[in-house]
Structure 1
Amino acid sequence: MLAMQSLRGAVKHAGSGPRLLFAVRHVSSSSQHFGRARPLSCTDTDQPKVLITGGLGQLGVGLAKLLRRRFGKNNVILSDIRKPPNHVYHSGPFIFSDILDYKNLREIVVNNNISWLVHYSAVLSAVGESNVALAKEVNITGLHNILDIATEHGLRVFVPSTIGAFGPSSPRDPTPELCVQRPRTIYGVSKVHAELMGEYYHHRYALDFRCLRYPGIISADSQPGGGTTDYAVQIFHSAVKTGDFECNLRSDTRLPMMYIDDCLRATLEILEAPAESLLSRTYNINAMSFTPQDLTQEIQKALPDLKVTYNVDPVRQAIADGWPMALEDSAARRDWGWKHEYDLSELVRTMLSHIATSNQLAQAS
């Protein structure tokens, strides 16, 4: 799932503390507001200027890479509150941005002529349950800052939601787009709040708000960030490195999942979709659903010596038991042409190949 924005102990409240200074690298001021999807261009002009918050999490770096190929390197600014790795810092513009500091965030939007804002900063499900105060601060107060600034400056804003926005009373297989939502985690409650606030701002203030409910996201390049579906990333690394894996969910826990390339492509597609094609502002997207046992058996076709044991974490299991088994996503397929490319077998093949190649490169260096 989405990795939480890194926090260095104390978290500033919006508008508090001294003025924060930040450095901007390779930032062009030649973009204009971007209203509709446009074709590829070999220049950075006449393209959206994009800010990604919480950009050092699971999805931000990958989305920045995709958007930079699409719109030009200097038109996509990655941001977070911690120092990026060298390869991220040198790949394109990176700045410090604290979503709880309203003034700092507003200055970034104004000074860099931002037209699209992708809001990835969040505290995830399991981490949120261990620190509810922090989750409220980041997931709710931070969201309010984003929506207010986006409305004030006429931005197109994307805020991801999640399967965690549903609860035990929601239909689970499949979960429709419109149904009862009664999540039992602060993460889920904050995501329902984000969906409703974004849709309210759209109808009340004409904010161009767009939202996708992500399944569990699987990527070989990212480290787990406190999500309930993180086992589906960890198992691949353990399978390649040690051949042993301890799973913290029951073997029969079925959840919807998606490979990161599908997720990032879906995000780009919803961002580029003409506003008049969007009959909704919050969409389910689905790709595959599987259990830990299903995933283990598929990996064992390539690595038959993999041994998986189960040590169920009651907190994570209770969360998973209230989440969808699959998402019904016909509206996304109808309105803006969503179509996934990776099924379980292709996911396993791709993940194992990627991790094996990365390990070989690391050993050779």
Structure 2
Amino acid sequence: MSHLARAEIVVDLAALRHNVRVLSRLVGEDVAMMTVVKADAYGHGMVAAAGAAREAGSQWLGVATLEEALALRAAGDSGRVLCWLAVPGEDYAAGVAADVDLSAYSVAELDEIAAGVEAVGRPARVQLKVDTGLSRGGAARADWPAVFARARAGEEAGTWRVTGIWSHFSSSDEPEDPANDRQERVFRDALALADEVGLDPEVRHLANSAAAVLRPSARFDLVRCGIASYGLEPAPGLMPDLGLVPVMTARAALAMVKHVAPGDAVSYGRAWIAESETTLGLVPAGYGDGVLRSASNAAEVLVGGKRRPVRGRICMDQFVVDLGGDEPDPGEEVVLFGTGLDGGPTATDWAQASGTINYEIVTRIGGRMTRRHVDSGLDSGMGAGVGAP
């Protein structure tokens, strides 16, 4: 068989393009698509993922930090990019010069952006984030009048153009939570107040992946699709079958196979003891590579077309799976998670086994694993081999 990397992440850019197009068709041509590529595109590789999203027609990219936005510019992206997380003293001049849409939560942030504009000598693009109930980033309701007034004064002075007003749901993955209705009402209040002071933003946006799919009333002018763009459900068990395909496959080469007898213990702390004779496989990846230790004795992998349970505690560099008496050759492929189309586990399966969410599975995997981008042709109607080498 062909040589496999010790442990690697395979990212199918065709699957990403497919997902972006599926989501864009769902929300309709009058709603712009922002593909969120923060946190190294949720572990998929920011520059490559951004390029695929653009190829699929995504008009906007979203990142958390200014450094991420500037990295996109350095890689050659010249389209609309919004960033939204800053601290006092940020080098807004660099963001203004790079034509990045900058988020502001406060009058103080707007003043700092104004200083950046003065340093660069060109106007900025600014979006105002309002807090509608998440109680995280964004202007508190009591501060809206002052923030909006400062924003409008900056427009009148030619310091910036207010290109957007936006907010973020707390519970869009729980569509029956009444907080969703409240937040949408509060957001509409913010838009009405902005209109009163003369702000006319290019885009108004509230919906993340779950809301983009499950709450049409919250789509407004633009939706921000993160995890769904990577083929994973933002609200597992509640999503319609859209045909999204997981973009990431995490796999390794089986390091060794051994027989164990009844009563033999596996891994640290003797947390699993064989009840009968079986065979075990050693997988050369561990929590040092982002394989969550909390999945010990709970997750499954795919070896030889069969799901194999993890036995014992996941270690820093390796973990053990039960092969049930089978004896595959060392070097055979072990799929930790992937598309699920072959019957194997997905990142969502690993999340459920670990007591977390699929976002954490894909953003934390990595460490010493290599990452390779492939193009399966899925979005050209050639779906076989998604995520394959």
Task: State the TM-score bracket (shorter-chain normalisation).
Answer: 0.3 to 0.5
Give 1 or 2 for the bigger CA radius of gyration.
Answer: 2
Question: Larger % of helix: which?
Answer: 1
Alignment TM-score, normalising by the size of structure 1: 0.32
Alignment TM-score, normalising by the size of structure 2: 0.31
